[in-house]
Structure 1
């Protein structure tokens, strides 16, 4: 990632922005719908001496910028009874099927990458990673799950576990979820960091 132009597409607190800085990113851009999230990203970066360009809005607004070598995204993916997220829910609520942000991200991401760029998306298996893979491939990029792991439910998932079970997203009594990381790149060129 050394010297790469990096976009954190759903910045939140800026954790991925800071990870990219630590890995040697050349420039950093963070975008989020939430002004509070952007303030958190700004503060966390400032405290660590990291320079970042902040953009308020949907990640699709990044289409007007030069393309990125790396796009990182940990988008909202938790299924929710309400169709529109607001307030703190912008960080996790993603509509009744958990796909309201993921579907748009999968369509937009290929347009954000340079010819040799890569994207990394993290989301829950509850929100159908196979659908993300299909959408990304239909957008003309390679996509594969490169790692996964099981984690205990956090406060949001615990608070709506009953609703998730009643709607068939999880088994009754389930207290953990599988998270996946999808790597996205183009077939026509090696990905950033690869030899070839």
Structure 2
């Protein structure tokens, strides 16, 4: 788990624009410190947050207690703890950074960013499983890097019957993780020789009525 970054800020902006109604059911999957869950709860939503990291779960619970907002926080792998419920809004800021060493699953702090050779280790699972948890007219907001193939995300969500579009973009400086594997990313063709920035995108997908 690590402190909220630009991707959290970008997804928070999309959440504010979505403006879930008081009492709306919101799921924040991969909650980390709980920043997105708290933002939704402050707006009166009924919020459930999930994270696979026990440290993140305890941090999110502490932050909710300090903020005096009610958030139901569960430990588990993506949607496993909430498969019996449906939601008006699902927020997802999963790990999405392509990783050169995929011989073993990410461990420790790297679980917050490493996502397999193509960065889609969890993105594909979210695109596959989230639609079934959306109520009619429910919305999925997901943020990830353009390095992780946003067109694939749009394709999978549309194949699942959702109306999907990119609603936010932002260029940011390469962070320490990307800088540490910059040469590998350039050899893979994911970064152009002159690129010194990364583009983040927020994709919005809505389940028809």
- With structure 1 as the length reference, what TM-score do the two structures score? 0.90
The match for 1:54 is 73
Paired residue for 2:150, among 129, 136, 142? Answer: 129
Alignment of 1:4-153 (within 5 A): 4-25=24-45, 27-83=46-102, 84-153=105-174
Task: Give runs of ≥4 in structure 1 deviating > 4 Å.
Answer: none
Matched length: 187
**2:177 counterpart of 1:156:** yes
Q: 1:62 to 1:141 in 2, by over 3 A?
A: farther
User: 3-state DSSP class of the match of 2:119?
Assistant: coil
Q: What's the RMSD between the two structures over aligned residues?
A: 1.3
Structure 2 Cα separation of the partners of residues 151 and 23 of structure 1: 28
Q: 1:54 to 1:109 in 2, by over 3 A?
A: same
Shifted more, 105-114 versus 62-71: the winner is 62-71
| Structure 2: gaps spanning 5 or more residues | 1-19
Structure 1 Cα separation of the partners of residues 61 and 181 of structure 2: 31
| Structure 1: gaps spanning 5 or more residues | 190-196
